[in-house]
Structures are given as structure tokens and as C-alpha cells.
Amino acid sequence: MLRTILIIFTACIISTCTSIPETNFSIAELASPIHPLSQLLPKDKSIPSLSILRKKTKVSGILLHHTKGLSSEEYITKSANSGWLVHYIVDKKGKIYGVEDPGTSLIKAAPKMDASMIHISWEGDKEDILKRPAQKKSVLYAIAKTSQEFGIPVTNFDVGGRSGIFTHSQAKKKFGGFLNGSDCGNENVLKALLEELKGSYFSEMEWKDRYGEWVLRKEKPFVGQNGEVKDPSYDKGRSVTPTPKAELDSIEKTADGLLLEEKRLKYNYRGAITADCVVLHFTAINDYDGTLRVLEKRNLAATFLADKDGKIYQLLDSPLHMAAAATGTNRNCFQIEIVGKDTEMLLANPAQTAAVSKLVYELCQKYQIPLNNERIESLKGVFSHTQAKKKWGGSIFLDAQDFDPGEPYMKKVIETLGGTYYSEKDWYDRHGEEWILLFTDFQP
């Protein structure tokens, strides 16, 4: 009798651990036939050539993708030709294509997640699937079947723990390893699916440790020890500390050699830099004073700010004070912000570009900084904020495109000064794995 009770108790524990919460449909009611994914592959590609064996026990999560408007055939072809794949794809009509034994197949779709994920993609873009009942039902089935088979929690709370059901976008923000920072998988779609499966959906602000060690971090500018919101406070800069003397020829100063008080920034001291490199940014704001307000509100800082009229102002008390502007470079670099809405606006302003070039040259001469942008990981040279983002991430506004301040602008400044400019494909180890943003033609 006792043995029977133990068997029943054990069975209940196993059932609890390996099943999903009760859904609005049984698995049988959701069930759809699964067709071989190989039917969609190019003739020169195969599942074995795009996967490696893994133990089923390694599977702990599901990653949801969509095709960004491509047809299923186009999406799988582009993925396979770039060395990627997904385990399941559901077309617009609800037809499911899948790998025969997804648990034993490790395929590449999301670096730092692949070893423990089953990748499920749906044909369409944004929230298209919510308008297609047949497709939605099939995706629900693929998720429910996978969740039940591998004991995956029906929640998106802890992507860092790799246990649950997540969009590719959430994985990108946590771990990086992506080509394009735009939406993939769609949070509203995931929310609808998890709610239908009676799981637990968490919005971005509720994701576990969202302000912590994420590649794309949420900013939390002024908070107390317990996370409470505080009024902004500063210990350096305009109206807080005495106006210092200017140390560089290239920046604006008063008749007696002081920085211009009204052009300075209120900021918090973060330490000193080692003066090894220069990073150029553009503000995306067409206004000097507006830029100061945004930096102060976000508790960010730059070392210098170049106005549209070609005048450059030092924002910090010392050029060797650390600015908070570009993850991975702050402890080593001078940060130069350039007022302008976009790259074209910067390139159309020769007076401003000449002033920025003059400052860059003075810094490089004074601190023996190389006039090239080949190896950002060396922190020796002149780099764009975009290059720093692609190497280390950091900015929640990162969208994986060239925009800050634009590589054509970097080329103009570096070559004007007699330096050597390297295009992205020639950046050191650009095809290596130690970049947050990949250098590839396509990614699922």
C-alpha cells in the first residue's frame, strides 16, 4: 500500500514538473500535423549540416521569432545560407514545418541561447499572427507540445536563467549576438499566447534584473539604495563647482582662460580616464541647450560638445574626468558629442567638422592616440559610438544600424587628419564572436 502511494506521489511530481498549465484547449484539440522542415531547405543544405547533437536534458526554453514579412521559404533559405535555422516554422495558413527530433538538434539562431532553446518562428511581421486564427492555433500547439515535452515554464520572467518562453528580442537585449536590433518575435504576440496558455507574462519593466547586467540596459538615472526615485543631484559642473581653466586650445574659453560657465554640464564624478582614445557621437538633437538638459536628466555626460556654429565647449571640469557616454570606452576615452540630427547634417556643416577635427588632432597629439579606428578592443584610436555599441552594446536605443555619428563622417574626420580609416568589414576580428552585434547578411 505504501509503495502504491509513493508511486502515485512520484507520478504527480513528475506530472507537475513536465506539464504546462491547463490551457483553453487540450493538446489534442490544438494538434496539427508537422511536416519536414527539410522541404523548405535549399537543395544544397540539410538539417545535419546546420545542426549539432545535444542531449534533450539541455533544453529548458523556447525562443519565439517571426519572419519579418518574408515567406516561410524565403526565411528558411536566407537562414540556411547564412548558417542559421529554427526548429519549427508556422506559415500563414497554420502549416507547421519542423525538425524531426528538436531536442537533440542544437541549431544556431540566437548566440548564448542556442544550447538550451527550441526555436519557433511564425511567418509574418509585427502582430500579423493575431489576425490569423489557424496560424495562431498552430503556434500555440507548437509551444504547448514543446513546453510539455521538456517541462518548460510558461513564463517569460527570467531570460537570464534560460528557462521559459521568450521572444528573440528579449534574448537580444540580455545577451546580444544579433544583426538587427529591431523587434523579433513580438512582445504583444507572446503576451497573447502566454495568456491563452494560462501562463504568466511579464512586461519589460518586470523582467528579472532588468536594470542589471544586460547588453542593452534600461537606464535608472536617479534612484536610492532600495530603487526609490530621487530628485536629480550632481556633485560637479555648472553652478556646482568653481569654473575651471581651459587646458586645450581647441575649445572655447573666456578672456582670462576659463571655461564658459553657462555651457558647462551638471554631472556626477565617476573617476578619471586613462586618455587612450577618442569616441565621436552625434546628439540626434538639433540644439545645444536641449542636449545639456537630456544628458543631465539621464545622468549621462560627454567630455566635449560641438555646437552647430563650429564652437566646441568642454562640459566637464577636467577633460580627464570620466564621461558616461559609450559602454566599454568610458574609462579610457574622451567623448565628443556633436550637435546634429543625423549624419547628413553633420557632413553638411564644414565649420563644425573642421572644429571637431581640430580637437581630435589636438587630443591625439597631446595624449599620443593613434589616428585610426581599426581595433576598438585595444582602446587605442578614434572610434564612432556605433563601433563601440557593436562591440559592447550598452544603449537601449541601439538599433544595429550605422548612425552615431555615421561611418562616412568618421572617414571624413580621420582622413582629413592624415589618419587611416577602416570600414566595418576591416575592423579587427569583425567576424569573431566577441562582438555584441554580428556581421552577417541575415539572422532568424
pLDDT at 11 over 70: no
* Confidence label for 247 from pLDDT (cuts 50, 70 and 90): very high
The rounded distance, in Å, linking the Cα atoms of 309 and 320 is 25
| Residues 178 and 263 occupy one common structural domain | no
pLDDT in tens, 393-421: 987 665 667 789 999 999 999 999 999 99
Burial code of 110-139, b = ≥16 C-beta within 10 A, e = fewer? bbebbebbbbbbbbbeeebbeebeebbbbb
| Residues 400 and 291 occupy one common structural domain | yes
pLDDT in tens, 294-351: 999 999 999 999 999 999 999 999 999 999 999 999 999 999 999 999 999 999 999 9
Task: With respect to residue 71, please indicate whether it lies within any of the assigned structural domains.
Answer: yes
Task: With respect to residue 14, please indicate whether it lies within any of the assigned structural domains.
Answer: no
3-class DSSP state of 280: strand
pLDDT at 110 over 90: yes
| Residues 401 and 268 occupy one common structural domain | yes
Task: With respect to residue 192, please indicate whether it lies within any of the assigned structural domains.
Answer: yes
* Confidence label for 20 from pLDDT (cuts 50, 70 and 90): very low
| Residues 177 and 274 occupy one common structural domain | no
pLDDT above 90 coverage of the chain, percent: 83
* Confidence label for 87 from pLDDT (cuts 50, 70 and 90): very high
| Residues 257 and 393 occupy one common structural domain | yes
Task: With respect to residue 85, please indicate whether it lies within any of the assigned structural domains.
Answer: yes
| Residues 113 and 257 occupy one common structural domain | no
| Residues 190 and 280 occupy one common structural domain | no
Q: Which residues contact 132 (CB under 8 A, 6 or more apart)?
A: 92, 94, 124
pLDDT in tens, 256-305: 999 999 999 999 999 999 999 999 999 999 999 999 999 999 999 999 99
Taking residue 356's Cβ as centre, other Cβ atoms within 10 Å add up to: 26
Tally of structural domains, the chain: 2
Task: With respect to residue 11, please indicate whether it lies within any of the assigned structural domains.
Answer: no
What pLDDT score does 189 carry? Answer: 98
| Residues 91 and 186 occupy one common structural domain | yes
Q: Which residues contact 387 (CB under 8 A, 6 or more apart)?
A: 373, 376, 424, 427
Element (H, E) at 384: strand 381-384
CATH number at residue 291: 3.40.80.10
Q: Are strands 51-53 and 105-107 parallel, antiparallel or unpaired?
A: antiparallel
| Residues 175 and 248 occupy one common structural domain | no
CA dihedral over 194, 199, 203, 204, signed as positive or negative: negative
What pLDDT score does 219 carry? Answer: 77
Per the model's pLDDT, the better-predicted residue between 216 and 167 turns out to be: 167
| Residues 282 and 335 occupy one common structural domain | yes
pLDDT at 132 over 80: yes
Local structure of residue 398 (DSSP, 8 states): -
| Residues 173 and 57 occupy one common structural domain | yes
Residue 52: give the domain boundaries. 27-197
Task: With respect to residue 291, please indicate whether it lies within any of the assigned structural domains.
Answer: yes
Task: With respect to residue 52, please indicate whether it lies within any of the assigned structural domains.
Answer: yes
| Residues 61 and 128 occupy one common structural domain | yes
Task: With respect to residue 384, please indicate whether it lies within any of the assigned structural domains.
Answer: yes
* Confidence label for 14 from pLDDT (cuts 50, 70 and 90): very low
